[in-house]
Amino acid sequence: MRFLLGRQIVLKEFYYTDLAISWIEEPVAGASNYLIGNERGYMYVAANSDELHYGGDFDFLTTPFGKIAVICCTKPVHWQLIHNAKKAEVILTVVFQNASSVSDLLLSKAICWGSSREFNLPIALLVNRADTLQYQFSVPGQGKDHSGLVIDSTTTCMIDMDVSKTESGLFFSVRSFAEG
Amino acid sequence: MSLTRFLISLFLPTFQLQKSLRNLVQPGVVKRVKGVVRAAIVQMEYSPVSNVNGFIELINRFLMKMTDFGPDIVVFPHLMDSFFFRVFPLFLLIGTRHHVKAIKETSRTTSEICERTMAEFSKIWNCTVVFGTTQGHKVYHVGNRQSHLLETKEYKMAVVSRKTLNNSIQLDHLVSSGVRIIATPGFGVVNYSDWDERYHMWAHSQMVGFYGLCSAVSGRFLGKDLKARACVTAPIPITNSFDGYIVKNSSTTGDTVLLAELDMNKIESFVQSRKFPTFHYSKG
């Protein structure tokens, strides 16, 4: 699965994107699927279908890539929600959050990173803090020095992620290949 | 086995311990502040001792650094009896079929010396002392042995293993039962990684919400270079620099005593504000 995390900027790679995950904005033609949201709710749009899914709070989405959990919140995400997502066998959890303070922003990042590692689950966090969007993507065992932190920035990023399911659990392979 | 025990008791006689315990550093006079728990966390550079006096001198070196602080809780590292390995006749044990079991059995004497020293220290200093030996983690409060879950008028504390620190569900049960301080006597590792260290105590302090006390031993131990970093963690919003640490050792080696004042009202407010939300499932 190739996905874009952040603003839907028209990079040449954008036309091969399976899923664009963005803070709420008008979808830009080019990706196959869109997940856009904010702290109040989300919308899932498939480009080749009339289907439209929307929801809020804590929800599950069935996509062609697998099950995805979506969390929309105004307070730092609770680890038990991520644990519930894991129990529902999702392949990815996406968190949309509006942070009222820097400490809430940092706490959310810490909780998502720790939960990703403990529950062996990729977590994409999109936080709006004082009209600046921050993106963090945590995948267990991936990233620099196997830190589990693939991206932590304010810029858009393209990511290739493969999920393999075996008897001993989920395995992830991630490559971040373009930053805008 | 009996020869080993005999040699240990020869090197570490009980009467010498009684005498040496009188040399423990005395606490200073410190005014207590209501709602604040004072914690002292020890990071030790491994330096083996030759006798009981040497061990008391070693402990005193750290106690002297906290006399004016008046700690309520002191956390020493794990495997404190390994400091006696200089007098431990390892040559009689290593190479035998069940040497790990043999070391554990014969180390009862050294573990007991550690326990008696810490019991006396907690009694003189009127505080809680947490540490570990080859026989497991130990907790003493004002001279008395306690379980791994300790409740006083000021705080409720749990002592857990490093493995438990990776389990939010178990930690959450502790926090739900009123525990606000979690201590882990630590020991250095060969393949030290800052990310791994962060994951255990620090990340779970953020996720579950508690003060985390982590002690450590670093230095050369049985031919291996160990690294570690003692720290006191707390949820990011209640730390001054928003880094999730009340205090952290800046080095992965050397002797250090970290002193921290834990505001119990702040952690209580944080825990209350982080109750698990009730969400309804919605579908478009």
Q: Nearest by CB to A57, from B167, B237, B282: name it.
A: B282
Q: Which of A53, A59, A111 lies closest to B206 in CB terms?
A: A111
Q: How far is the C-alpha of B69 from the C-alpha of B251, rounded, in Å?
A: 22
Q: Encode pLDDT of B47-89 as tens digits.
A: 988 888 899 999 999 999 999 999 999 999 999 988 887 766 6
Task: Give the global pTM.
Answer: 0.91
Across the interface, whether the CB atoms of B168 and A110 are under 8 A apart is answered no
| A157-171, B15-29, B120-134, B248-262: least confident range | A157-171
Question: What mean pLDDT, rounded, does chain B reach?
Answer: 89
A54 to chain B: which residues are within 8 Å by CB? 284
Beta carbons of B152 and B128 less than 8 angstroms apart: yes
Model confidence band, residue B97 (pLDDT cutoffs 50, 70, 90): low
Reference B135, options B166, B158, B113; nearest CA is B113
CATH architecture type of domain B38-273: 4-Layer Sandwich (3.60)
Q: What is the pLDDT of residue B175?
A: 97
Domain ranges for chain A: 2-179
Give the torsion sign (CA, A130, A133, A137, A143). negative
Residues in A closer than 8 angstroms to B274, CB to CB, are 76, 78
B99-106 vs B108-124: helix crossing angle, rounded to 10: 40
Q: State the complex-level ipTM.
A: 0.91
B206 contacts on A by Cβ (under 8 Å): 107, 110-111, 114
Query: Which positions in chain A touch B172 (Cβ < 8 Å)?
Result: 80
Domain residue extents for chain B: 38-273
* Banded pLDDT at B8 (limits 50, 70, 90): low
Q: Which pLDDT belongs to residue A180? A: 38
Lowest mean pLDDT among B9-13, B119-123, B139-143, B226-230: B9-13
User: Is residue A84 scored above 90 in pLDDT?
Assistant: yes
* Res. B283: pLDDT tops 60: no
Integer Cα distance of B146 and B138 in angstroms:
8
What pLDDT, on a 0 to 100 scale, did the predictor assign at position B95? Answer: 62
Band of residue A145 on the pLDDT scale cut at 50, 70, 90: confident
B195–A110 C-beta distance less than 8 A: no
What was the pLDDT predicted at B284? 47
The beta-carbon neighbor of A107 closest among B195, B237, B282 is: B237
Percent of the residues in chain B that have a pLDDT greater than 90, as a whole number: 70
Q: Where are the alpha helices (DSSP H) in B64-98?
A: 90-93
The pLDDT score that the predictor gives to residue B93 is: 60
What are the tokens at B69? 């602080």
- For residue range A88-135, list pLDDT tens digits in order: 999 999 999 999 999 999 999 999 999 999 999 999 999 999 999 999
Residue B96 has pLDDT above 70, yes or no: no
**pLDDT tens figures, B104-146:** 766 788 888 899 999 999 999 999 999 999 889 999 999 999 9
* Weakest mean pLDDT among A71-80, A140-149, B68-77, B164-173: A140-149
